[in-house]
Amino acid sequence: MEKREQLYEGKAKKVFLTDDPDLLIVSYKDDATAFDGQKKGTIVGKGAINNRMTNHIFRLLEKEGVPTHLVEELNDRETLVKKVEIVPLEVIIRNFSAGSFAKKLGMEEGIKLACPTLEFSYKNDDLHDPFINSYYALALNLATQEEIDTITKYAFTVNKVLREYFAGLGIELIDFKIEFGRYHGQIILADEVSPDTCRLWDKETHEKLDKDRFRRDLGNVEDAYQEVFRRLGIQ
Ligand code: TMP
């Protein structure tokens, strides 16, 4: 597959065209940002870890009936994916209180919720990804009702599969954010699943093994990403 010109550069990935109009190459960077890009840094080795971890998890999810954009891992940092039109919704599932949820509700972090929650943010950096509900999504033509239903169904399946999978690695899946795209009219999982986009706590010690170490200046950021990767047991 021939890599052509760069289509887009995001905060954590670059995207390249290929000679197939249906396929793109994503290239994961070591760059890290937080708070809408106000905080910038580098997490050495992150690009390769997030690339390989996302692909490993997407293969697992495909087996469980969640279609994804994954086509083929090309090398440590690059993957061939289906070219989707991203649905401009950040889909967030929470199993425990943390982050903006804990802050908004005046809760401490790490309280188990009575059931998993799902929320949407409108993917718009200028507006700081505001929290919206499905009625806003419909009113703003961000997605159809059928798409929202499919996204909701897949998101809860992703949660069930990943919660069990991470539990087997001694990791509690606190919360995560995923994104979906449209590919020839079908909704499929796109973007990434990595310590950048999930809160992952060691089940025993509750040590944070995710990007909160970078966001909150907790130190040992690289070690945390490597520890998650090591537990995945990817050869
Ligand atoms: P929040 O508690 O800050 O709303 O974050 C919820 C989840 O979404 C958490 O796992 C981190 C992830 N997340 C992203 O992937 N990208 C973002 O820009 C933000 C703010 C959160």
Q: What is the pLDDT of residues 206-224, one digit of tens each?
A: 999 999 999 999 999 999 9
96-125 mean pLDDT: 98
78-104 mean pLDDT: 98
Question: Ligand 1 centroid to 44 CA: how many Å?
Answer: 21
Question: Ligand 1 centroid to 20 CA: how many Å?
Answer: 33
Q: Which pLDDT band holds residue 162 (cuts at 50, 70, 90)?
A: very high
pLDDT in the model for residue 68: 99
Cα 39 from chain centroid (whole Å): 19
pLDDT score of 1 more than 90? no
Walk me through the domains of the chain, giving residue ranges and CATH numbers. Answer: 3-82 (3.30.200.20), 85-220 (3.30.470.20)
**Distance from C-alpha of 102 to C-alpha of 3, rounded to nearest angstrom:** 43
Atom nearest to 211 CA in ligand 1: 11
Q: Is the CB of 166 under 6 A from ligand 1?
A: no
pLDDT, one tens digit per residue, over 137-157 is 999 999 999 999 999 999 999
Ligand 1 pocket test: pick from 86, 91, 92 the residue with the most ligand atoms within 8 Å of its Cβ.
92
Q: Is the CB of 92 under 6 A from ligand 1?
A: yes
Closest of 204, 228, 209, 229 to residue 219, by C-alpha = 209
What's this model's pTM, rounded to 2 decimal places?
0.98
pLDDT score of 235 more than 90? no
Ligand 1 pocket test: pick from 177, 178, 198, 216 the residue with the most ligand atoms within 8 Å of its Cβ.
177
pLDDT, one tens digit per residue, over 28-46 is 999 999 999 999 999 999 9
pLDDT score of 47 more than 90? yes
**Distance from C-alpha of 87 to C-alpha of 124, rounded to nearest angstrom:** 11
* Mean per-residue pLDDT of the chain: 98
Q: What percent of the chain has pLDDT over 90?
A: 98
**Which residue has a Cα nearest atom 7 of ligand 1?**
176
In this structure, the strands spanning 3-9 and 13-18 are antiparallel
Burial of 176 (0-12, 13-18, 19+ CB in 10 A): buried
Q: What percent of the chain has pLDDT over 70?
A: 100
Question: Ligand 1 centroid to 41 CA: how many Å?
Answer: 17
